[in-house]
Amino acid sequence: MLTLLTNADVYAPAPLGRRHVLVAGGSIVSITKRVPEITGVPIDVVDLGGRRLVPGFIDAHVHVTGGGGEAGPETAAPAPALSRYTTAGVTSVVGLLGTDDTTRTTAGLLRQVYALRRQGLSAWAWTGGYHLPPTTLTGAVRTDIATVEPILGFGELAISDHRSSQPTMHEVARVAADCHVAGLMTGKAGVLHLHLGDGARGLGMIRDLLDTTELPARTFHPTHVNRRSGLLDEALDLAARGVTIDVTAFPPAFATDDEVLAAKAVERFIEAGHLARLTVSSDGGGCLPHFRDGELVRMDFATSGALADLLADLLGRGVPLEDALPPFTATPAHYLRLPNKGEIVEGGDADLVVLGDDRPTEVMARGRWHVRDSRPVVRGTFETSD
Protein backbone atom coordinates (compact mmCIF):
# COMPACT_ATOMS: atom_id res chain seq x y z
CA MET A 1 0.00 0.00 0.00
CA LEU A 2 1.11 3.53 -0.79
CA THR A 3 1.19 6.12 1.97
CA LEU A 4 0.55 9.79 1.23
CA LEU A 5 1.43 12.31 3.93
CA THR A 6 -0.40 15.51 3.07
CA ASN A 7 0.07 19.03 4.45
CA ALA A 8 3.43 18.30 6.03
CA ASP A 9 5.70 21.14 7.11
CA VAL A 10 8.87 19.47 5.84
CA TYR A 11 12.32 19.96 7.32
CA ALA A 12 14.63 17.90 5.16
CA PRO A 13 16.46 19.05 7.44
CA ALA A 14 16.44 22.35 5.52
CA PRO A 15 12.94 23.88 5.63
CA LEU A 16 10.94 23.10 2.49
CA GLY A 17 7.59 24.48 3.63
CA ARG A 18 4.22 22.80 3.12
CA ARG A 19 4.62 19.62 1.05
CA HIS A 20 2.89 16.32 0.27
CA VAL A 21 5.12 13.25 0.62
CA LEU A 22 4.37 9.97 -1.16
CA VAL A 23 5.90 6.76 0.24
CA ALA A 24 6.04 3.35 -1.45
CA GLY A 25 8.19 0.26 -1.02
CA GLY A 26 10.07 1.75 1.91
CA SER A 27 11.21 4.81 -0.08
CA ILE A 28 10.12 8.39 -0.63
CA VAL A 29 8.67 8.47 -4.13
CA SER A 30 7.79 12.15 -4.42
CA ILE A 31 7.72 15.44 -2.52
CA THR A 32 5.28 17.85 -4.16
CA LYS A 33 3.58 21.19 -3.59
CA ARG A 34 0.28 19.87 -4.96
CA VAL A 35 -1.51 16.76 -3.78
CA PRO A 36 -0.75 14.05 -6.36
CA GLU A 37 -3.67 12.36 -8.08
CA ILE A 38 -3.43 8.60 -7.53
CA THR A 39 -6.12 6.18 -8.70
CA GLY A 40 -6.49 2.45 -9.08
CA VAL A 41 -4.25 1.42 -6.17
CA PRO A 42 -4.82 1.25 -2.41
CA ILE A 43 -3.45 4.30 -0.61
CA ASP A 44 -3.33 5.39 3.01
CA VAL A 45 -3.74 9.17 3.19
CA VAL A 46 -2.55 10.81 6.41
CA ASP A 47 -3.24 14.53 6.78
CA LEU A 48 -0.55 16.02 9.02
CA GLY A 49 -2.37 19.32 9.25
CA GLY A 50 0.78 21.41 9.06
CA ARG A 51 2.76 19.45 11.63
CA ARG A 52 6.53 19.25 11.12
CA LEU A 53 7.92 16.23 9.27
CA VAL A 54 11.62 15.52 9.84
CA PRO A 55 14.05 12.70 8.98
CA GLY A 56 14.33 9.74 11.33
CA PHE A 57 17.09 10.12 13.92
CA ILE A 58 20.38 8.21 13.63
CA ASP A 59 21.72 7.05 17.01
CA ALA A 60 25.33 6.08 16.31
CA HIS A 61 26.24 5.01 19.84
CA VAL A 62 23.90 2.35 21.22
CA HIS A 63 24.59 -0.68 23.40
CA VAL A 64 22.11 -2.81 21.47
CA THR A 65 23.02 -5.93 23.46
CA GLY A 66 22.99 -3.97 26.73
CA GLY A 67 25.90 -2.35 28.50
CA GLY A 68 27.18 -1.98 32.02
CA GLY A 69 28.65 -4.62 34.28
CA GLU A 70 31.13 -2.34 36.04
CA ALA A 71 29.72 -3.15 39.48
CA GLY A 72 29.36 -6.91 39.14
CA PRO A 73 27.48 -9.28 36.86
CA GLU A 74 24.09 -8.23 38.23
CA THR A 75 24.67 -4.72 36.85
CA ALA A 76 24.93 -5.86 33.21
CA ALA A 77 22.05 -4.12 31.43
CA PRO A 78 19.63 -5.98 29.13
CA ALA A 79 19.19 -5.20 25.46
CA PRO A 80 16.81 -2.28 24.87
CA ALA A 81 13.43 -3.16 23.39
CA LEU A 82 12.52 -2.06 19.86
CA SER A 83 10.06 0.60 20.99
CA ARG A 84 12.74 2.25 23.16
CA TYR A 85 14.25 3.42 19.87
CA THR A 86 11.18 4.17 17.79
CA THR A 87 9.24 6.17 20.38
CA ALA A 88 12.30 8.44 20.57
CA GLY A 89 12.23 9.00 16.79
CA VAL A 90 15.24 6.76 16.19
CA THR A 91 15.04 4.78 12.94
CA SER A 92 18.75 3.92 12.50
CA VAL A 93 21.28 2.71 15.07
CA VAL A 94 24.94 1.76 15.22
CA GLY A 95 25.50 -0.84 17.93
CA LEU A 96 28.65 -1.30 20.00
CA LEU A 97 30.27 -2.99 22.96
CA GLY A 98 31.62 -1.05 25.92
CA THR A 99 33.42 -1.93 29.14
CA ASP A 100 32.43 -5.58 28.86
CA ASP A 101 33.97 -6.74 25.60
CA THR A 102 34.88 -10.02 27.29
CA THR A 103 31.58 -11.79 27.92
CA ARG A 104 29.81 -9.72 25.25
CA THR A 105 31.18 -10.40 21.77
CA THR A 106 31.15 -8.98 18.26
CA ALA A 107 29.21 -12.07 17.15
CA GLY A 108 26.50 -11.36 19.72
CA LEU A 109 26.46 -7.71 18.71
CA LEU A 110 25.92 -8.63 15.06
CA ARG A 111 23.12 -11.01 16.01
CA GLN A 112 21.28 -8.12 17.66
CA VAL A 113 21.94 -5.84 14.67
CA TYR A 114 20.35 -8.43 12.39
CA ALA A 115 17.44 -8.81 14.83
CA LEU A 116 16.75 -5.08 14.76
CA ARG A 117 16.86 -5.11 10.96
CA ARG A 118 14.28 -7.91 10.87
CA GLN A 119 12.07 -5.83 13.17
CA GLY A 120 12.17 -2.86 10.83
CA LEU A 121 15.03 -0.63 11.96
CA SER A 122 18.16 0.15 9.99
CA ALA A 123 21.14 -1.07 11.99
CA TRP A 124 24.93 -1.31 11.76
CA ALA A 125 27.78 -2.02 14.17
CA TRP A 126 31.20 -0.99 15.39
CA THR A 127 33.61 -3.88 15.92
CA GLY A 128 35.76 -4.02 19.06
CA GLY A 129 35.07 -2.40 22.41
CA TYR A 130 36.87 -0.50 25.17
CA HIS A 131 40.07 -2.51 25.05
CA LEU A 132 43.10 -3.56 23.05
CA PRO A 133 43.84 -6.20 21.84
CA PRO A 134 40.44 -5.81 20.18
CA THR A 135 37.39 -8.03 20.31
CA THR A 136 36.64 -8.92 16.67
CA LEU A 137 34.75 -11.47 14.61
CA THR A 138 37.45 -12.46 12.11
CA GLY A 139 40.52 -11.87 14.25
CA ALA A 140 41.46 -8.51 12.71
CA VAL A 141 39.87 -5.05 12.70
CA ARG A 142 40.60 -4.40 9.04
CA THR A 143 39.15 -7.74 7.98
CA ASP A 144 36.00 -7.23 10.07
CA ILE A 145 35.32 -3.91 8.36
CA ALA A 146 36.28 -5.15 4.90
CA THR A 147 34.26 -8.38 4.93
CA VAL A 148 31.33 -8.02 7.36
CA GLU A 149 28.67 -5.81 5.78
CA PRO A 150 27.15 -4.15 8.90
CA ILE A 151 30.52 -3.18 10.43
CA LEU A 152 31.41 0.46 9.73
CA GLY A 153 34.52 0.91 11.87
CA PHE A 154 35.90 0.32 15.37
CA GLY A 155 34.33 1.49 18.61
CA GLU A 156 34.12 2.44 21.36
CA LEU A 157 37.85 2.31 22.11
CA ALA A 158 38.39 3.86 25.55
CA ILE A 159 41.05 6.49 26.17
CA SER A 160 41.61 8.82 29.14
CA ASP A 161 39.63 6.43 31.34
CA HIS A 162 40.63 4.19 34.24
CA ARG A 163 38.58 1.37 32.63
CA SER A 164 40.56 1.48 29.39
CA SER A 165 43.44 -0.83 28.48
CA GLN A 166 45.68 2.26 28.73
CA PRO A 167 46.59 2.06 25.03
CA THR A 168 49.70 3.77 23.74
CA MET A 169 49.61 6.26 20.90
CA HIS A 170 51.28 3.68 18.67
CA GLU A 171 48.55 1.13 19.40
CA VAL A 172 45.75 3.61 18.71
CA ALA A 173 47.49 4.73 15.51
CA ARG A 174 47.60 1.10 14.31
CA VAL A 175 43.86 0.59 14.90
CA ALA A 176 43.02 3.94 13.31
CA ALA A 177 45.10 3.01 10.26
CA ASP A 178 43.23 -0.29 9.94
CA CYS A 179 39.93 1.61 10.05
CA HIS A 180 41.09 4.14 7.47
CA VAL A 181 42.45 1.57 5.02
CA ALA A 182 39.39 -0.66 5.35
CA GLY A 183 37.23 2.38 4.62
CA LEU A 184 39.23 3.06 1.47
CA MET A 185 38.84 -0.56 0.39
CA THR A 186 35.08 -0.70 0.89
CA GLY A 187 33.65 2.81 0.71
CA LYS A 188 32.52 2.46 4.33
CA ALA A 189 33.06 5.13 6.98
CA GLY A 190 36.30 3.56 8.26
CA VAL A 191 36.01 5.48 11.51
CA LEU A 192 37.61 4.98 14.94
CA HIS A 193 34.88 5.83 17.47
CA LEU A 194 36.59 6.82 20.71
CA HIS A 195 35.16 6.73 24.24
CA LEU A 196 36.47 9.63 26.32
CA GLY A 197 36.65 9.23 30.06
CA ASP A 198 37.25 12.06 32.50
CA GLY A 199 41.02 11.48 32.73
CA ALA A 200 43.36 14.46 32.64
CA ARG A 201 44.89 13.42 29.30
CA GLY A 202 41.65 14.28 27.54
CA LEU A 203 41.94 14.48 23.77
CA GLY A 204 45.71 14.97 23.77
CA MET A 205 46.34 11.64 22.04
CA ILE A 206 44.16 12.61 19.07
CA ARG A 207 45.97 15.92 18.74
CA ASP A 208 49.28 14.07 18.75
CA LEU A 209 48.07 11.59 16.13
CA LEU A 210 46.99 14.43 13.85
CA ASP A 211 50.39 16.10 14.34
CA THR A 212 52.60 13.02 13.86
CA THR A 213 50.79 10.69 11.43
CA GLU A 214 49.29 10.97 7.97
CA LEU A 215 45.86 9.81 9.15
CA PRO A 216 43.06 12.17 8.04
CA ALA A 217 41.02 13.98 10.67
CA ARG A 218 37.81 12.21 9.62
CA THR A 219 39.23 8.92 10.93
CA PHE A 220 38.65 9.98 14.55
CA HIS A 221 35.21 10.29 16.14
CA PRO A 222 35.49 11.06 19.88
CA THR A 223 32.35 10.80 22.00
CA HIS A 224 31.22 11.80 25.53
CA VAL A 225 33.16 15.06 25.12
CA ASN A 226 30.61 17.01 27.16
CA ARG A 227 31.36 15.05 30.32
CA ARG A 228 33.44 18.05 31.49
CA SER A 229 33.86 21.60 30.26
CA GLY A 230 37.60 21.39 29.55
CA LEU A 231 37.09 18.33 27.37
CA LEU A 232 34.44 20.15 25.36
CA ASP A 233 36.88 23.04 24.81
CA GLU A 234 39.41 20.54 23.45
CA ALA A 235 36.75 19.01 21.19
CA LEU A 236 35.87 22.39 19.69
CA ASP A 237 39.54 22.92 18.87
CA LEU A 238 39.66 19.51 17.14
CA ALA A 239 36.49 20.32 15.19
CA ALA A 240 38.34 23.33 13.79
CA ARG A 241 40.95 20.83 12.53
CA GLY A 242 38.33 18.73 10.72
CA VAL A 243 37.49 16.11 13.38
CA THR A 244 33.82 15.16 13.69
CA ILE A 245 32.77 15.23 17.35
CA ASP A 246 29.99 13.30 19.08
CA VAL A 247 28.09 14.84 22.00
CA THR A 248 26.25 12.49 24.35
CA ALA A 249 22.72 13.30 25.46
CA PHE A 250 23.39 12.47 29.11
CA PRO A 251 20.20 12.69 31.23
CA PRO A 252 20.22 15.99 33.17
CA ALA A 253 19.77 14.10 36.44
CA PHE A 254 23.11 12.40 35.82
CA ALA A 255 24.99 15.67 35.29
CA THR A 256 27.95 16.49 37.50
CA ASP A 257 29.04 20.00 38.45
CA ASP A 258 31.52 20.22 35.55
CA GLU A 259 29.45 18.41 32.93
CA VAL A 260 28.08 20.41 30.00
CA LEU A 261 24.45 19.64 29.22
CA ALA A 262 24.06 18.34 25.69
CA ALA A 263 21.89 21.26 24.55
CA LYS A 264 24.47 23.76 25.75
CA ALA A 265 27.23 21.78 24.02
CA VAL A 266 25.28 21.86 20.73
CA GLU A 267 24.77 25.61 21.13
CA ARG A 268 28.51 26.07 21.54
CA PHE A 269 29.17 24.21 18.28
CA ILE A 270 26.62 26.42 16.52
CA GLU A 271 28.17 29.58 17.98
CA ALA A 272 31.66 28.44 16.94
CA GLY A 273 30.53 27.68 13.38
CA HIS A 274 31.27 23.95 13.70
CA LEU A 275 27.76 22.52 13.40
CA ALA A 276 28.81 20.49 10.33
CA ARG A 277 31.37 18.66 12.54
CA LEU A 278 28.85 17.58 15.19
CA THR A 279 26.83 14.42 15.78
CA VAL A 280 24.76 13.55 18.84
CA SER A 281 24.04 10.12 20.31
CA SER A 282 22.35 8.65 23.37
CA ASP A 283 24.62 5.91 24.78
CA GLY A 284 21.32 4.02 24.83
CA GLY A 285 21.30 0.63 26.54
CA GLY A 286 24.36 1.51 28.55
CA CYS A 287 24.73 2.13 32.23
CA LEU A 288 25.81 5.60 33.24
CA PRO A 289 28.24 5.03 36.11
CA HIS A 290 29.58 7.83 38.23
CA PHE A 291 33.00 7.17 39.73
CA ARG A 292 34.99 8.87 42.46
CA ASP A 293 38.68 7.93 42.61
CA GLY A 294 37.94 4.80 40.57
CA GLU A 295 35.08 3.67 42.84
CA LEU A 296 31.50 3.42 41.57
CA VAL A 297 29.22 5.69 43.62
CA ARG A 298 26.00 5.64 41.57
CA MET A 299 24.58 4.35 38.29
CA ASP A 300 21.87 5.30 35.83
CA PHE A 301 20.51 3.69 32.64
CA ALA A 302 20.59 5.46 29.28
CA THR A 303 17.97 5.21 26.53
CA SER A 304 17.55 6.68 23.07
CA GLY A 305 14.78 8.77 24.60
CA ALA A 306 17.54 11.20 25.57
CA LEU A 307 17.72 12.26 21.91
CA ALA A 308 14.04 13.24 21.87
CA ASP A 309 14.62 15.13 25.12
CA LEU A 310 17.64 16.89 23.63
CA LEU A 311 15.77 18.04 20.51
CA ALA A 312 12.93 19.41 22.65
CA ASP A 313 15.46 21.18 24.86
CA LEU A 314 17.18 22.79 21.87
CA LEU A 315 13.91 24.01 20.42
CA GLY A 316 12.86 25.31 23.83
CA ARG A 317 16.08 27.34 23.92
CA GLY A 318 15.13 28.98 20.63
CA VAL A 319 17.45 27.02 18.33
CA PRO A 320 15.80 26.90 14.87
CA LEU A 321 14.73 23.39 13.88
CA GLU A 322 16.87 23.49 10.73
CA ASP A 323 19.94 24.09 12.93
CA ALA A 324 18.97 21.59 15.62
CA LEU A 325 18.29 18.67 13.25
CA PRO A 326 21.56 18.00 11.35
CA PRO A 327 23.48 16.40 14.28
CA PHE A 328 20.60 13.91 14.65
CA THR A 329 20.13 13.22 10.94
CA ALA A 330 22.10 14.48 7.93
CA THR A 331 25.52 14.82 9.57
CA PRO A 332 25.79 11.26 10.96
CA ALA A 333 24.36 9.92 7.68
CA HIS A 334 27.01 11.70 5.61
CA TYR A 335 29.88 11.09 8.02
CA LEU A 336 29.12 7.37 8.44
CA ARG A 337 28.35 7.00 4.73
CA LEU A 338 24.87 5.60 5.27
CA PRO A 339 23.20 5.83 1.87
CA ASN A 340 19.65 7.22 1.62
CA LYS A 341 19.57 8.18 5.31
CA GLY A 342 19.33 11.42 7.23
CA GLU A 343 17.35 13.52 4.72
CA ILE A 344 13.85 13.78 3.32
CA VAL A 345 14.58 13.52 -0.37
CA GLU A 346 13.04 11.74 -3.34
CA GLY A 347 14.58 8.28 -3.58
CA GLY A 348 15.67 8.33 0.05
CA ASP A 349 14.54 5.82 2.63
CA ALA A 350 11.16 6.53 4.20
CA ASP A 351 12.48 7.09 7.73
CA LEU A 352 10.20 9.86 8.92
CA VAL A 353 9.24 11.51 12.20
CA VAL A 354 6.24 13.76 12.86
CA LEU A 355 6.81 16.28 15.65
CA GLY A 356 4.07 17.45 17.97
CA ASP A 357 4.92 19.82 20.83
CA ASP A 358 8.59 19.40 19.78
CA ARG A 359 8.52 15.62 20.35
CA PRO A 360 7.98 12.59 18.09
CA THR A 361 4.32 11.60 17.83
CA GLU A 362 4.43 9.46 14.67
CA VAL A 363 7.44 7.49 13.47
CA MET A 364 7.87 5.61 10.19
CA ALA A 365 10.89 3.35 9.63
CA ARG A 366 11.60 2.08 6.11
CA GLY A 367 8.05 2.94 5.07
CA ARG A 368 6.28 1.21 7.96
CA TRP A 369 4.54 2.99 10.81
CA HIS A 370 6.12 2.08 14.15
CA VAL A 371 4.61 4.81 16.33
CA ARG A 372 1.20 6.48 16.02
CA ASP A 373 -0.21 9.08 18.40
CA SER A 374 2.94 8.70 20.53
CA ARG A 375 2.31 5.00 21.11
CA PRO A 376 4.20 2.07 19.56
CA VAL A 377 2.16 0.07 17.06
CA VAL A 378 5.08 -2.29 16.31
CA ARG A 379 6.85 -3.98 19.19
CA GLY A 380 9.83 -6.27 19.56
CA THR A 381 9.39 -10.02 19.80
CA PHE A 382 9.39 -10.11 23.62
CA GLU A 383 7.78 -6.75 24.31
CA THR A 384 4.39 -6.66 25.96
CA SER A 385 1.72 -4.05 25.29
CA ASP A 386 0.86 -1.45 27.91
Catalytic residues: 283
- Kindly state the DSSP code that residue 159 receives in the 8-state scheme: E
CA 108, 187, 55, 2 torsion-angle sign: negative
* Cα R_g (the chain), whole angstroms: 20
**Which residues participate in the annotated binding site?**
61, 63, 195, 224, 283
**Which residues participate in the annotated binding site for Zn(2+)?**
61, 63, 195, 224, 283
Buried b (16+ CB within 10 A) or exposed e, 174-201: ebbbbbbebbeebebbbbbbbbbbbeee
- Of 277, 212, 188, the residue nearest 241 (C-alpha): 277
Q: Do the beta carbons of residue 376 and residue 386 sit within 8 Å?
A: no
Sheet holding 191-196, edge to edge: 57-62, 90-95, 122-127, 151-159, 191-196, 220-223
- Of 100, 94, 106, 56, the residue nearest 78 (C-alpha): 100
Q: Do the beta carbons of residue 318 and residue 337 sit within 8 Å?
A: no
∠ CA 58-377-45, rounded to 5° = 90
Type of residue numbered 153: G
